Structures are given as C-alpha cells and as structure tokens.
Structure 1
Amino acid sequence: MISKVRTMLGNKDTSQLLKNFFSLAVLKLVNAVLPFVTLPYLIKVLGIQQYGAIVLALSLMAYFQAVTDYGFNLSATREIARHRANKRQLSFIYSKTIITKMYLLLSSLAVLVPIILLVPQFREDLLVYLLMCLMLIGQTLFPEWFFRGVERMGYITALNLIVKLSFTIGVFILIKAPQDYWLYPFLLGVSYIIVAFISHYIIMRKFNLKLIFVGIKRVKKTLKIGFPLFVNQFVPTLFNNTTNFLVGMILGKASAGYFGATRQVVQILTVFNSVVSGVAFPYLIRYKEKFGVFSKYYLILISAISLFLVLVHQYIFDIIGIKYNFDSEVFYILIAGFLAIVFYSVYSTNYLISRGYDKLVMRITIIASIIGFVLSFPLIYKFGLLGGATNIFISQLILGFGSYFYFKKINKEMKYENQKVCKK
C-alpha cells in the first residue's frame, strides 16, 4: 500500500494535481474563511441592518460580475489547457481574454452606476454601492482562468493570503461602529485589485507572456464563441442571486443580513466544491478515463462533510449570532441544494463541458434558472426566508438531476457505439 502511494506521488501529473489542489484550496479557503471569521464581529459591531445593506450591495454586484466573468473560468481555462506548451498561443489567449473582459467591465459600469444613482433604496447606502464597484473591477481583472489552465496556481496563493489577511486585519482595526460599514467594500475592493495586478505581473514575468493588441473583430468573435458558457454561468444568477436580492428588497435589509449569513455558512462547502471542480477540470480534459474514479470518491467525501456540517451547524449559528424563525430549516434546505449543485459540478462541468457539450449544459441551466426566477417572487413573498431557500433548492435540484440524466444518456450511447465498433 505504501509503495503504491509513493509511486502515485512520484507520478508527475499526480504530483502536480495535488499541488494544484492544495494551492487552489488555500486560495479559495482564504477567500471564504477570512470573511467568515469577520462575520460574527461585523454582525455585532454593525448590526444586522447595516450588514444586510452590504449583503444587498453584493447581490447587485453579482449580476455584473457574472457578465464580466463571461464563463472565461471554463472557456479560457479549456483553451489554455489545450495550448499551454505554445507561448505565442498563450499570449494570444491571455490578451484576447483580458481585453474582452475590459470591454465587458466598461459596459457593466456604464449600466451599474446610473442604477445605483437612480434607485432610491440604493441611494440610502450610496457610498457602499459605489465602493462595491472596486470589487467588481478587481474580480474582473483577476486571471484565475489562466492559472487554472496552466495548472500552476501556487504562484498567487501566498500573495492572496497576505492581501486577504490585510483585509481581515483592516476590518477588525478600522470598523468600530455602524457608520463604518462603508469601509467593508472599500477594503474588499482594494484587496481584489492588489491581487489582480500582482497576478498579471507574475504571468508576464514567470510565464514570459506579453499583452498584445487584439482588435474589436477578435473581441466579438471571442464573445460569440464563449456565449454558450456565458449563458451557462450567467443565468444561475436569475434564481441564485435574485433570491438574495429579492429577500432584501421585499423583506428588508435585516432579513437580507440573516439570509446572507446563513448562506455564508453553506459557502464554506461551496468553496470546497469549487476548489475540487477547478483543479479537476483541466486534469479531466487530459485524462477523461479518470472521471469514474473521481466522481465516485468525491461524491462520497462531499456527502460525509455535508452531514458533519448539518450536525454542528447550531453551534456555528450561536457563535455567529444567527437566530431567526426557522433558521435550521432554512439551513437544511440550503444544504440539500448544495448537494444537488455538486452533482451539477461533477456531471456538467467535469464531464459534459470537458467533452464539449457546452450547449447541452446551457439548455439545462436556462431551464433551471428560468423556473427559479419565476418562482422567486411568489415563494419569498408568501413564505419569507423559507421560500427563498426552497426556491434555490428547486433550481439546484433541476441542475443536478438534469446533468446526471444527460451524463447517463451520453455514457450509454458511447458504450453502445463502442460495442458496435467491436462487433465489426
């Protein structure tokens, strides 16, 4: 057994996969855990009303973040994974992706800023919303898709840890009263921007890439090619983010704060799933035959972790200060939805998309998102936070079940075709 483990660790691809996992794990966990560490402090110092204003502002930004991401964490990652040995091609992919994202960022800000200035409910917390734009800028410029594609995420992990620690320390040192809540988006936005610029410096120095001119025709072509994956990434905001948004708009900022804090607990699991899926995606593009082993053991692991969190969630709620009617029931529903989204990550992202079935995944995502979008208002209006959690669960269940259904169908068709070939 020990010799097998040593042999496996000695394999270059396996060793790199483990390095990538731990590097991306640290990166993602820092992004999730440190804000989670500040959560009890923020709720206590700011109050649930002011914290709810931050959650509502983050919900608004999420729509535009989905636009500027444009599915590049999948499409650009896939391109880079296929051409990572070609420096010239890498420079081209890097340049067209960054320039396209800049066009999307400018277009998003042109729409976002007038919305902030015109909607009365946003004007109540005007400075918070405007400072959230810094976060949008930083997230747009952050080239996570590149590091995923070359399977070398370790370069940015230490820097990201330093910046996020600085952000967390800044929260504890600078935020002392409810009126200081504007400092949260400011510190968050600055941290994202610092990470983004340092990451591009690393790409140019360590990978010897250059930012080359890419014309508007190439930008349009990039947008056209990536459109199915953009739809696949954007339309989930129609149920996922709209639920958060409507909770704040219909039920008030306090409800948005409680709902956001509850989802923050589930976010720990979501980050872990994102880490595993992000590391596995480029690996499974190259080694498709490994999918069966990956899916089996990962689903067992994630189920065990979810069960543990269900058992201890009340202790976590007490520490954070989460206490409202049906808080545990809302949490259980969100955990069930998370398990469904794990199926979506495994069977859509790491099977269907890795094999080029982008449009099929897009159809599954559109159906689930439209249903969630239509149900969001009546469920939240009628059942409050329970309705919001239920709406997310229904949509995530459709995503997970639809992905698994098409995985089985395609897998069955492939086996049938292989049998026909063998008989000939």
Structure 2
Amino acid sequence: MISKVRTMLRNKDTSQLLKNFFSLAVLKLVNAVLPFVTLPYLIKVLGIQQYGAIVLALSLMAYFQAVTDYGFNLSATREIARHRANKRQLSFIYSKTIITKMYLLLFSLAVLVPIILLVPQFKEDLLVYLLMCLMLIGQTLFPEWFFRGVERMGYITVLNLIVKLSFTIGVFILIKAPQDYWIYPFLLGISYIIVSLISHYIIISKFNLKLIFVGIKRVKKTLRIGFPLFINQFVPNLFNNTTNFLVGMILGKASAGYFGATRQVVQLLTVFNSVVSGVAFPYLIRYKEKFDIFSKYYLILIAAISVFLLVVHQYIFDIIGIKYSFDSEVFYILIAGFLAIVFYSVYSTNYLISRGYDKIVMRITIIASTIGFILSFPLIYKFGLLGGATNIFIGQLILGSGSYFYFKKINEGVKHES
C-alpha cells in the first residue's frame, strides 16, 4: 500500500494535482475562513443591522460579478488547459479574456451606479454600496481562470494570504463602532485590486505572456461562444442571490444579517467543494477515465464532513452570535441544499462540461433557476427565513438531480457504444 502511494506521488501529474489542490485550498480557505474569523467581531461591533447592510450590498454586487465573470472560470480555464504548451495561443486567450471582462465591467458599472443612486433603500447606505464597486473591479481583474488552466495556483496563494491577512487585521484595527461599517467594503475592495494587479504581473513576467490587442469583433465572438456557460453561471443568481437580496428588501437588514451569517457557516463547505472542483476540472479534462474514482470517494468525504457540521453547528452559532427563530432548521435546510449542489459540481462541472455538454448544463440551470426565482418572493413573504432557505434548497435539488440524471443517461450511452 505504501509503495503504491509512493509511486503515485512520484508521478508528475499526480504530484502537480496535489500541489494544485493544496495551493487552491489555501487560497479558497483564506478567502472563506478569515471573513468567518471577523464575523463574530463584526456582529458585535457593528450590530446586526449594519452587518445586514453589508450583506445586502454584497448580494447586489453578486449579480454584476456574475456578469463580469461570464463563465470564464470554466470556458477560459478549458481553453488554457488545452493550449497550455503554446505560448502564442496562451497570450491570445489571456488577452481576449481580460479585454472582454473589461468591457463587461464598464457595462456593469454603467448600470450599477445609477441603481445605487436612485433606489432609496440603497441610498441609506450610499457610501457602502459605492465602495463595494471596488470589490467588483478587483474580482473582475482577478485571473483565477488562467492559473486554474495552467494548473499553477501556487504563485498567487502566498500573495493572497498576505493581502487577506492585512484586510483582516485592518478590520480589527479600524472598525470600532457601528458608523465604521463603510471601512469593510473599502478594505475588501482594495485587497482584491492589489492581489489582482500582482497576479497579472506574475502572468506577464513569469509565464512570458503578452497582452495583445483584441478587436471588438473578437470580443463579440468570445461573448457569443461563452454565452451558454454565462447562462450556466449567471442564472443561479435568480434563486440563490435573489433569495439573499429579497430577505434584505422584504424582511429588513437585520434578517439579512442573520441569514447571511448562517449562510457564511455553510460557505465553509461550499469553499471546500469549490477547491476540489476547481482543481479536478482541468485534470479530468485530460484524464476522463479517473472520473468514477474521483466522484465515488469525494461524495463519501462530503457526506462525512456534512454530518460532522450538523452535529457541532450549535456550538459555532453560539460563538458567532447567531440566535433567531428556527436558526437550526434554516441551517439543516441549507446543508441539504449544499449536498445537492455537490452533485451539481461533480456531475455537471466535472463530467458534462468537461466533455463539452455545456448546453445540457445550461438547460438544467435555467429550469432550476426559473423555478427558484418564481418561488422566492412567495416563500420569503409567507415563511420568512425558513422560506428563503427552502427556496435555495429547491433550486439546488433540481440542479443536483438534473445533473445526475443526464450523467447516467450519457454515461450509459458511452458504455453501450464501447
């Protein structure tokens, strides 16, 4: 057994996969755990009302972040993974992706800023919403798709850790009263912008790539080709992010704060799933025969972790300061939804999309998101936070079950042909 493990570790591809996993794990866990560390402090110092204002602002930004992402974390990653040995082609993919994202950013800001200035509920916390635009700029510029594609996440992990630690320290040092809540989006935005700029310097200097001119025709073609994956990435906001958004708009900023804090706990699991899925995606594109082993052991691991979190969640709630009616019930429903979304990550992202079935995934996503969007208002209006959690679960259940259905259908067809 030990000799087999040693042989696997000596294998170049396996070794690189493990390096990518731990690099991306550190990156994602830093992004999730450090905000989680500040959560009890923010709720205590700012109060649930002001923290809820931050959650509501983040939910508004999420719509436009999905627009600027445009599915590039999958489409650009897939292109780069296929052409990683061709420097000229990599420069072209890098350039067209960045330039297209800049067009999307300008469009998003042109729509977002007037909304912030005109909607009364947003004008109450005007500075917070405007400073959140810095985060949108930084996230748009962040080239995670490139490092995923070349399977070299280690370059930015240390830099990201330094920036995020600085952000966290800044929260504890600078935020001392409820009126300091504007500092949170400012620090968050600056941290994203700094790490993004340094990441591009690494790409140009270490990978010897060039930023070349890409015309508007190529930008339009890139948008057209990536549209199915954009729909796949954006449409879930119709039930996922809209639920957060409507909780704040209908039930108030305090409810948005409690609901956001509860989802932050579940987010720890979501980040872990994102790490594994992100690392596995380019690997499974090259080694499709490894999918069965990956899916089997990963689903067992996720089930075990979820059960553990269900057992200890009340202790976590006590530490953070989460206490409201039906808090455990809301958490149980969100965990059930998370398990469904893991099926979606495994069978949609790492099976269907890796094999080019983008339109099938788009169809599943549209159906799930449309149903979730339609149900969001009546469920939240009638059942409050329980309704919000249930709405998220319904959408995620459709995503997970639909992905598994098409996986079985396509996989059985492949086996029959062979």
> What is the TM-score normalised by the length of structure 2?
1.00
User: How do 1:36-115 and structure 2 match up within 5 A?
Assistant: 36-115=36-115
CA deviation map 1:172-203 (0-9, x unaligned): 00000000000000000000000000000000
Whole-Å separation in 1 of the counterparts to 2:136 and 2:268: 22
Where 2:200 maps in the other structure, the secondary structure is helix
Q: Is 1:416 the counterpart of 2:416 in the alignment?
A: yes
CA deviation map 1:84-112 (0-9, x unaligned): 00000000000000000000000000000
Where 1:209 maps in the other structure, the secondary structure is coil
Aligned to 1:421: none
Where 2:210 maps in the other structure, the secondary structure is coil
Whole-Å separation in 2 of the counterparts to 1:26 and 1:196: 17
CA deviation map 1:267-301 (0-9, x unaligned): 00000000000000000000000000000000000
CA deviation map 1:197-217 (0-9, x unaligned): 000000001000000000000
Where 1:152 maps in the other structure, the secondary structure is coil
Where 2:176 maps in the other structure, the secondary structure is coil
Q: Is 1:290 the counterpart of 2:267 in the alignment?
A: no
Whole-Å separation in 2 of the counterparts to 1:241 and 1:3: 48
Q: Shift of the alpha carbon at 1:224?
A: 0.2
Whole-Å separation in 1 of the counterparts to 2:87 and 2:412: 39
Q: Shift of the alpha carbon at 1:391?
A: 0.1
Q: Shift of the alpha carbon at 1:380?
A: 0.1
Whole-Å separation in 1 of the counterparts to 2:411 and 2:200: 40
Q: Shift of the alpha carbon at 1:417?
A: 1.4
CA deviation map 1:356-384 (0-9, x unaligned): 00000000000000000000000000000
CA deviation map 1:132-166 (0-9, x unaligned): 00000000000000000000000000000000000
Q: CA RMSD in A?
A: 0.2
Q: Shift of the alpha carbon at 1:415?
A: 1.3
Whole-Å separation in 1 of the counterparts to 2:414 and 2:91: 36
Q: Shift of the alpha carbon at 1:332?
A: 0.2
Whole-Å separation in 2 of the counterparts to 1:86 and 1:76: 15
Q: Shift of the alpha carbon at 1:46?
A: 0.1
Where 2:214 maps in the other structure, the secondary structure is coil
Whole-Å separation in 1 of the counterparts to 2:203 and 2:314: 44
Whole-Å separation in 1 of the counterparts to 2:166 and 2:303: 34
Unpaired segments ≥5 residues, structure 2: none
Q: Shift of the alpha carbon at 1:414?
A: 1.0
Whole-Å separation in 2 of the counterparts to 1:415 and 1:123: 58
Q: Shift of the alpha carbon at 1:70?
A: 0.0
Q: Shift of the alpha carbon at 1:25?
A: 0.1
Whole-Å separation in 2 of the counterparts to 1:110 and 1:44: 35
CA deviation map 1:204-248 (0-9, x unaligned): 010000000000000000000000000000000000000000000
Aligned to 2:272: 272
Whole-Å separation in 2 of the counterparts to 1:303 and 1:123: 43
Q: Shift of the alpha carbon at 1:129?
A: 0.1
Whole-Å separation in 1 of the counterparts to 2:411 and 2:265: 35
Unpaired segments ≥5 residues, structure 1: 419-424
Where 2:411 maps in the other structure, the secondary structure is helix
Whole-Å separation in 2 of the counterparts to 1:279 and 1:403: 20
Q: Shift of the alpha carbon at 1:416?
A: 1.4
Whole-Å separation in 1 of the counterparts to 2:413 and 2:274: 29
Q: Shift of the alpha carbon at 1:307?
A: 0.5
Where 1:55 maps in the other structure, the secondary structure is helix
Where 1:346 maps in the other structure, the secondary structure is helix
Q: Shift of the alpha carbon at 1:349?
A: 0.1
CA deviation map 1:292-321 (0-9, x unaligned): 000000000011001000000000000000
